[in-house]
């Protein structure tokens, strides 16, 4: 595992250099040429550990890698927004449902065992199956879209990972 160092340019960008590049001249994106210090000088620079480079790579070039990561990031954000919207929409629809108790079955005046049993059954069925008052079709509708949103989220992450795996372009002028 090679230790890398961050070599600051006057433009504010930081170029990643390694021990093996000591004494070389790098060309920054801004056009300036920066001489990489000698091995001893490198030790005084900010260090980057290899494990953290994927997340905080101070890349100085805009290329397919950055474009892919931006695209992936946007897709991830959009699908998260979509999920939030789906949840909100479901909430709205459920709140708009008529109250199943508002038009509840009138209990017969005569509370015979058979009549109240029928009324109870109707009430149960009304709560469970009446499409006008049931939350089930709303939840099912949401479930369908939710998987689509998960798929989009996954695709966004795949695009980001592909972007991370693309090699970065660095110009090294000896
Ligand atoms: Zn520069």
Which residues place a Cβ less than 5 A from the ion ligand 1?
9, 11, 13, 28, 30, 32
Percentage with pLDDT > 90 across the chain: 35
Q: What is the mean pLDDT of residues 111-138?
A: 68
DSSP letters for 50-93? GGGHHHH------SHHHHHHHHHHHHHHHHHHHHHHHHHHHHHH
Give pLDDT, residue 129.
57
Q: What's the CA-to-centroid distance between 121 and ligand 1, angstroms?
A: 77
Q: What's the CA-to-centroid distance between 72 and ligand 1, angstroms?
A: 27
Q: What's the CA-to-centroid distance between 62 and ligand 1, angstroms?
A: 13
Give pLDDT, residue 144.
83
Q: What's the CA-to-centroid distance between 28 and ligand 1, angstroms?
A: 5
Q: How far apart are CA 48 and CA 81, in angstroms?
A: 34
Residue pair 6/51 in contact by the 8 Å Cβ criterion: no
Q: What's the CA-to-centroid distance between 55 and ligand 1, angstroms?
A: 21
Q: Is the pLDDT of residue 64 over 60?
A: yes
Q: How far apart are CA 143 and CA 87, in angstroms?
A: 10
Percentage with pLDDT > 70 across the chain: 71
Q: What's the CA-to-centroid distance between 21 and ligand 1, angstroms?
A: 17
CA dihedral (135, 137, 140, 142) positive or negative: negative
Q: What is the mean pLDDT of residues 17-37?
A: 93
Q: What's the CA-to-centroid distance between 15 and ligand 1, angstroms?
A: 8
Find which of 10-24, 51-65, 139-153 is predicted with most confidence, using mean pLDDT. 10-24
Give pLDDT, residue 124.
67
pLDDT-derived band of residue 143, with 50, 70 and 90 as boundaries? confident
Task: Compute CA 116 distance to the chain's CA centroid, rounded to the nearest angstrom.
Answer: 53
Give pLDDT, residue 29.
93
Mean pLDDT (the chain, rounded): 80
The predicted-structure confidence for 91-124, as pLDDT tens digits, reads as follows 888 888 777 665 555 555 556 677 677 777 766 6
Q: Indicate the domain borders of the chain.
A: 4-60, 64-165
Residue pair 10/26 in contact by the 8 Å Cβ criterion: no
Q: What's the CA-to-centroid distance between 37 and ligand 1, angstroms?
A: 16
Q: Which CATH architecture has domain 4-60?
A: Single Sheet (2.20)
Q: What's the CA-to-centroid distance between 39 and ligand 1, angstroms?
A: 21
Give pLDDT, residue 74.
95
Q: Is the pLDDT of residue 57 over 60?
A: no
Q: Answer with the residue of higher pLDDT: 172 or 62.
A: 62
Q: Kindly report the number of other CB atoms within 10 A of residue 142's CB atom.
A: 18
Pairing of β 4-8 and β 46-48? antiparallel
Give pLDDT, residue 87.
87
Q: What is the mean pLDDT of residues 73-100?
A: 87
Q: What's the CA-to-centroid distance between 68 and ligand 1, angstroms?
A: 23
């Amino acid at each position: 595992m090679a230790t890398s160092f961050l070599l600051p340019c006057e433009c504010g960008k930081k170029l990643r250099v390694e021990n093996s590049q000591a004494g070389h001249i790098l060309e920054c994106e801004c056009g300036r040429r920066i001489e990489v210090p000698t091995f001893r000088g490198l030790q005084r620079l900010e260090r980057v550990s290899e494990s953290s480079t994927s997340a905080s790579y101070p890349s100085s070039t805009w290329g397919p890698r950055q474009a892919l990561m931006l695209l992936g990031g946007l897709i991830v954000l959009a699908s998260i927004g979509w999920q939030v919207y789906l949840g909100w929409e479901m909430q709205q629809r459920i709140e708009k449902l008529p109250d199943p108790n508002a038009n509840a079955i009138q209990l017969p005046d005569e509370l015979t065992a058979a009549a109240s049993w029928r009324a109870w059954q109707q009430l149960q069925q009304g709560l469970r199956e009446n499409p006008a008052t049931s939350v089930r079709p709303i939840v099912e509708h949401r479930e369908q879209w939710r998987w689509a949103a998960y798929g989009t989220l996954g695709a966004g992450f795949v695009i980001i990972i592909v972007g991370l795996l693309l090699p970065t372009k660095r110009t090294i002028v000896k």
